Amino acid sequence: MKSLFNKGAVTAIVLLITATLSGCGEDNAQQSAAPATPSNEHYNFRLAHTWPTNFPIFGDAIHSMATMANKMSNGRINITIDSKNKHKAPFGIFDMVKSGQYDMGHSGSYYWKGKVPNTLYFTSMPFGMTAEEQYAWFYHGGGFDLTQKVYAPHNLISFPGGNTGNQMGGWFQKEINSIEDLQGLKMRIPGFAGEILAKVGGKPTNIPAGELYTALERGTIDALEWVGPSLDLRMGFHKVAPYYYTGWHEPGSEMQFLFNKEKWESLPADIQEILRVSMRLAAYDMYAHSYHESAVNWDSMKADYPNIQVKSFPNEVLQAMKDVNDVLIAEYAAADPLAKEIIDSQAAYLKKARAWTKISDQSYYETMESLQ
């Protein structure tokens, strides 16, 4: 096939894109292995994701990444997307991309905690960083390289895959005024946050999405957390539980694009760069999209259901959960040197980032609130 670009022009475009993203750990991490000469070959990739067909926001980010990669490569990159309805293995993405059954995946890093414990840290940690703070850590504060340290031994590269923003603490049938109110409380809250709830007396469970509404309505569970108005509205939880608690457990959940490492390293530099830019832009845009959906959905929920009561957990409850969190994290750090390296990096970065957040965003919100 006749090339649409001469070699010099393609090289110039690649250099321009690379220069735009210079200074990021991810560039150095993968470019050395790539063949230097741009190719005019066509590249077909198969991507499997955890979500149902037409899942809003998350699914939109995946399709937008694939469309961008196709357009930027002038049709040379084609990504076929399979939802869980097709491959039937929503929590098999790690293994399917590792083995090469699929070239790419989209999922959440914390889902692999049972398989590779150190994957826990790359989605969102209770009491941890917000989306902005975490993006800064991922792209400029060493987070990307630490992610690859965990994934590379499994023949995988993990790229940020889009952020939900700060998640709400969940829908509750009863008010939580003290630790006593958590005793025996049955709540759908997966992962590490569920472990914390269990340690302070609650009973965490995980229930498939399709059964959540009925479980909450019939009292099979007393509470649940999902995401926030962006995705909660269509689930209808506000119709069956009056209390909407603010968050503590997923302050900025980042999804992931997974790539088979061997496959990635076989690709020419221009194809890698187009994929890298597409994934990065789709991830940022998912954060903006989530923010938008939460803002407009919360606006309509407030108007249509004025009895929704927004609450925050009392300090006593949050402090008890934070204490448990700190003990569990210290145990993880003591048990594994790489876990310690990640935990220390996140803690040190959070300290610096939060000092800035405090005099910038936090100060701005507080000052604006005080005005008429």
Residue ranges that bind Ca ion, judged by CB under 5 A? 167, 250
**Pairing mode, strands 77-82 and 243-245:** unpaired
Cβ proximity to Ca ion: between 111 and 138 the closer is 111
Which of 168, 160, 169 has the alpha carbon at shortest distance from 132?
A: 160
Cβ proximity to Ca ion: between 147 and 167 the closer is 167
Which of 77, 81, 114, 101 has the alpha carbon at shortest distance from 156?
A: 101
H-run or E-run covering 144: helix 143-151
Phi-psi region of 100 (alpha: psi -120 to 50; beta: other; left: phi over 0): left
Nearest-10 crossing angle of helices 58-72, 269-304: 150
Strands (E) across 230-351 are located at: 243-245, 254-260, 309-311
Q: C-beta of 140: minimal distance to Ca ion in Å?
A: 26
Q: C-beta of 190: minimal distance to Ca ion in Å?
A: 7
Cβ proximity to Ca ion: between 64 and 167 the closer is 167
Cβ proximity to Ca ion: between 181 and 250 the closer is 250
Q: C-beta of 193: minimal distance to Ca ion in Å?
A: 8
Structure token digits, residue 140: 């400029």
Give the DSSP per-residue string, 58-112.
HHHHHHHHHHHHHHHTTT-EEEEEE-HHHHS-TT-HHHHHHHTSSSEEEE-GGGG
For the chain, give the number of residues. Answer: 372
Q: C-beta of 256: minimal distance to Ca ion in Å?
A: 15
Cβ proximity to Ca ion: between 148 and 167 the closer is 167
Distance CA 55, CA 62 (A): 10
Q: C-beta of 168: minimal distance to Ca ion in Å?
A: 8
Q: C-beta of 117: minimal distance to Ca ion in Å?
A: 20
Cβ proximity to Ca ion: between 171 and 257 the closer is 171
Distance CA 152, CA 165 (A): 27
Cβ proximity to Ca ion: between 158 and 167 the closer is 167
Q: C-beta of 265: minimal distance to Ca ion in Å?
A: 34
Cβ proximity to Ca ion: between 5 and 127 the closer is 127
- For residue 182, the Cα-to-chain-centroid distance in whole angstroms is 27
Q: C-beta of 227: minimal distance to Ca ion in Å?
A: 5
Q: Tell me how crowded residue 265 is: count the other CB atoms within 10 A of its CB.
A: 15
Q: C-beta of 326: minimal distance to Ca ion in Å?
A: 21
Tokens 């063949």 correspond to 35
Cβ proximity to Ca ion: between 221 and 277 the closer is 221
Question: In terms of C-beta distances under 8 Å and separation of at least 24 residues, what long-range contacts does 215-219 make, across chains too?
Answer: 215/188, 216/171, 216/173, 216/240, 216/241, 219/173
